Amino acid sequence: MNKLLFLMFVPLLVWSEVHYAKVEPYRTVILKSSVNGKVLEADLKNEAEFLSNRQIIHIDDRLDRVELNTTKQSLKLLHSMLKINEEMLVSLKESMERKESYYARINKLSTASRTQKDNAYGAFSAANTQYLSTHEKVMSLQKQILDMEYKLATLKQRIEDKNIVLTHYYLNTLLVQKGDFVVPGSALAKVDDIRRAKLVLFLNKTELKELKKKHVYIDGVETAYRVDKVWKTTDAKFISSYRAEIYVDAPKGQFSSLVKVELK
């Protein structure tokens, strides 16, 4: 009788390490807007397609492009002004140094009158003031150029954010359509990374023991895969189990097929 009970219980022990998992995309992302604007294009025909460098959404960026062009022109003018003032600064420095040298010489001469000395000092002081003023203008122009370059980079980023391009992603669902107005945080599209796949398992505490040493069998065939990630706390839905993920190659056929997974 005891032997019979043991034999009846053995299949349950084996079954405890058999799981069925759906082949899911490696990662699913909800793209959200970081800008304001009206949706001018939303390419619905690209839904359910794996896209490579394809634009799926275009948000109105016409004023941004106008501002981008004027900013580029302003930056060009600032660079020209800076170059002129830097050349002036070199000349003013030479002039100031000559006047300073002249004042230093004449100030030591006992034969030079007080008026001559005062005039020499006045000329040196005026040259020094002009040099410092131009130097300050050069630094101000440098600061304006830095601010303008930042504005230029911001505009380029804003324009890029208004032209949503997918590269090596599967467009699952477009969540906006032409004519919609979006704000930062608005959901734009649901996309999947299907270059790889994952299997999600829910393991009991016993199965976690020596997990790194266990081999992964898929549909009865041993693979080189290992369990890649295990949650440290039990799952919110399966409260006595721990979520685990195995990252595998993307299937040649369709995703979402059900496979048998064993950990031995």
pLDDT digit string, tens, across residues 111-128: 889 999 989 999 999 999
Claim to verify: residue 55 and residue 68 sit in the same structural domain: no
Claim to verify: residue 155 and residue 242 sit in the same structural domain: no
Question: Could you tell me the residue range of the domain that residue 142 belongs to?
Answer: 62-161
Residues forming a β-bridge with 166:
54
The terminus-to-terminus CA distance of the chain in angstroms comes to 30
**Section 240-255 average pLDDT:** 90
Write down the pLDDT at residue 1: 44
Does residue 4 carry a pLDDT above 80?
no
Residue 155 lies in a domain: yes
Residue 6 lies in a domain: no
The residue to which tokens 């409260």 are assigned: 239
Residue 143 lies in a domain: yes
Last residue of a domain, one of 107, 127, 161: 161
pLDDT tens digit string along 175-227?
999 999 999 999 999 999 999 999 999 999 888 888 888 999 999 999 999 99
Last residue of a domain, one of 108, 132, 161: 161
Claim to verify: residue 86 and residue 208 sit in the same structural domain: no
Claim to verify: residue 240 and residue 207 sit in the same structural domain: yes
Claim to verify: residue 41 and residue 53 sit in the same structural domain: yes
pLDDT tens digit string along 43-90?
899 898 899 889 999 999 999 999 999 999 999 999 999 999 999 999
CB atoms within 10 A of CB 117: 15
Residue 194 lies in a domain: yes
Judged by DSSP in three states, 234 sits in: coil
Claim to verify: residue 31 and residue 111 sit in the same structural domain: no
Distances in Å between the Cα of 164 and the Cα atoms of 32, 59, 117, 220 are 10, 8, 71, 43
pTM confidence score: 0.76
Give the number of domains in the chain.
2
What CA–CA distance (Å, rounded) separates 69 from 63?
Answer: 10
Claim to verify: residue 27 and residue 56 sit in the same structural domain: yes
Claim to verify: residue 202 and residue 151 sit in the same structural domain: no
The residue to which tokens 């981008």 are assigned: 68
CB 29 within 8 A of CB 167: no
pLDDT grade for 255, boundaries at 50, 70 and 90: confident
Claim to verify: residue 56 and residue 29 sit in the same structural domain: yes
Residue 217 lies in a domain: yes
Residue 1 lies in a domain: no
Q: Which residues contact 171 (CB under 8 A, 6 or more apart)?
A: 46, 47, 48, 49, 50, 51, 56, 189, 191
Claim to verify: residue 55 and residue 172 sit in the same structural domain: yes
Claim to verify: residue 157 and residue 172 sit in the same structural domain: no
pLDDT tens digit string along 9-37?
344 344 447 899 999 999 999 999 999 99
DSSP 251: P
pLDDT grade for 264, boundaries at 50, 70 and 90: confident
Claim to verify: residue 150 and residue 86 sit in the same structural domain: yes
192, 202, 188: which is closest to 255 by C-alpha?
192
Last residue of a domain, one of 161, 181, 211: 161
What CA–CA distance (Å, rounded) separates 19 from 224?
Answer: 17
Residue 11 lies in a domain: no
Does residue 7 carry a pLDDT above 60?
no
Residue 12 lies in a domain: no
Q: What letters, b where the CB count within 10 A reaches 16 and e where it falls short, cover 133-159?
A: ebbebbeebeeebeebeeebeebeebb
